[in-house]
Amino acid sequence: MTATRRTLIAATLFAPAVARAQAPWAPTRPTRFVVPFPAGGATDVVARVLADRMQESFGQPVVVENRTGAGGNIGVENVVRSAPDGSTILMGTTGTLTVNPHLYSNLGFDPLRDLAPISMAFTTDHVLVVNPQVQAQTAQEFLALVRAQPGRLSYGSAGAGSSTHTVPELFKLAAQVDIAHVPYRGSAPALNDLVAGNVQMMLDQIPSAIGQIQGGRVRALAVTGARRSPLLPDVPTMAEIGLPDAQATSWGAVMAPAGTPAPAVARFNAAIREALAQQAVKDRLAAAGADGVASSPEELATYLRAESAKWARVVREARITVN
């Protein structure tokens, strides 16, 4: 056998192995996409939009699974305990990934240690809204009113540890004001009581509050994002009213169990980036009040550490506890 013939035979035998080594990772069975909250909210909507696009990209089902309870901890722990083989991913949030670890002393897991970052998915800002009977037309007037009556005004939230609790507490720390907290079982009843005048303010997520703002039933004074909201272009940011430290954004990020192979993480990241670049996806997220935002796993890891440090300080200094 000539040297040339041996070379050709070797090339033929090893070609499939080389091709397999160079091929990008792809799932070989359905992917579970765990959402730690009920169906219908912004987190769930974004997950389902991304699941549809990833399913098209992978040629395998991506099934959204709502695992609720304990402030999202049940769903997160389910993913933490899942096999790190690319078959399970999570839509984590501000609360589940960077607030809850500082609220719950018995979690039994650490989201930053036990989950692998894949990509940011979406953001949504909050808006400071007051009852129209409050004698303040601007955020500055509201701050003056609160400082003149420490502890007399109150704000409603969706419950202890929710974003509508932690974001106002960050606002209070930044503004150095005293406003009483009144927890409710969800944002909707809190907003209803704000409209009724039983509480004077909320820092609600813009998608939840926009209808009441547009209907004139509450007055918007400031938004918490880095930029003004396209839905509220005349409402200033926290930085514009002199409170840059009150900037806060609720967000969602896609995670996987720690130890998930890097090629799987890279493939999910690419699929998410591809989906969020599509105009149809942007439009569907906007309809849910969310802005699609992708990132690299490394960028997300850095962001999670910064967010965890920020909310640890808020939980500690505001003495936030859960029942």
pLDDT at position 56 over 70: yes
Query: Nearest 5°: CA angle at 239, between 235 and 245?
Result: 130
CA distance 163 to 141: 25
Element holding 192 (H helix, E strand): helix 187-196
How many CA atoms does the CB half-sphere of 45 hold within 13 Å? Answer: 19
**What is residue 38's predicted lDDT score, i.e. its pLDDT?**
81
CA distance 62 to 70: 25
**What is residue 20's predicted lDDT score, i.e. its pLDDT?**
45
Cβ proximity of 120 and 295 under 8 Å: yes
CA distance 202 to 180: 11
Distances (CA, A) of 116 to 199, 225, 308: 40, 26, 15
Helix (H, G, I), strand (E, B) or coil at 92: strand
CA distance 248 to 124: 9
pLDDT at position 41 over 80: no
pLDDT at position 13 over 70: no
Cβ proximity of 183 and 157 under 8 Å: yes
pLDDT tens for each residue of 157-166 = 888 788 889 9
106-122 as b/e: b if 16+ CB within 10 A = ebeeebbebbbbbbbbb
Q: Is the pTM above the cut of 0.85? A: no
**What is residue 115's predicted lDDT score, i.e. its pLDDT?**
98
Q: Which residue has the tokens 């699974």?
A: 65
Q: For the beta carbon of residue 245, count every other beta carbon within 10 angstroms.
A: 13
CA distance 175 to 150: 12
Q: How many residues does the chain have?
A: 323
pLDDT tens for each residue of 277-287 = 999 999 988 87
pLDDT at position 42 over 60: yes
DSSP state of 71: G
* Least confident interval from 34-43, 72-81, 114-123, 126-135: 34-43
Structural domains in the chain plus CATH codes: 31-123+249-317 (3.40.190.150), 125-246 (3.40.190.10)
**What is residue 160's predicted lDDT score, i.e. its pLDDT?**
79
State what percent of residues in the chain have pLDDT above 90.
Answer: 72
pLDDT tens for each residue of 89-117 = 999 999 999 999 999 988 999 999 999 99
Cβ proximity of 140 and 236 under 8 Å: no
**What is residue 15's predicted lDDT score, i.e. its pLDDT?**
47
Strands 31-35 and 88-93: parallel
Element holding 114 (H helix, E strand): helix 111-114
The mean per-residue pLDDT over the stretch 247-267 comes to 96
Helix (H, G, I), strand (E, B) or coil at 265: helix
CA distance 196 to 133: 10
CA distance 318 to 169: 6
